[in-house]
Amino acid sequence: MKASQDFIKQLELLYEQYEKEVLEKLKVDILKDTTAKTYLTHSNNFIRWCRNDFVPGGRNQ
């Protein structure tokens, strides 16, 4: 694990808020589907990386 459990828990709580905000913007056509998906995928990958559950480019190795 690259980060402490406390830090990851805080990060996950913040991600939930971020996800709600992105989805709200999607709902009112401020964001396109592909943009919202990109925002959520990459931020989720960062959290996974902090948990040591993701390696950037790992599928390409």
**Would residue 23 count as lying in a domain?**
yes
**Would residue 31 count as lying in a domain?**
yes
**Would residue 40 count as lying in a domain?**
yes
Instruction: Please tell me the pTM assigned to this model.
Output: 0.86
| CB burial readout 40-54, b (16+ within 10 A) else e | beebeeebeebeeee
How many Å apart are CA 6 and CA 14, to the nearest integer? 12
Is the pLDDT assigned to residue 61 strictly greater than 80?
no
Q: What is the CA radius of gyration of the chain?
A: 13
Report percent pLDDT > 90 for the chain. 89
As for how many domains the chain has, the answer is 1
How many Å apart are CA 53 and CA 45, to the nearest integer? 9
**Would residue 58 count as lying in a domain?**
no
* Maximum CA extent, the chain: 39
**Would residue 33 count as lying in a domain?**
yes
**Would residue 61 count as lying in a domain?**
no
Which domain, by its residues, includes 13? Answer: 5-53
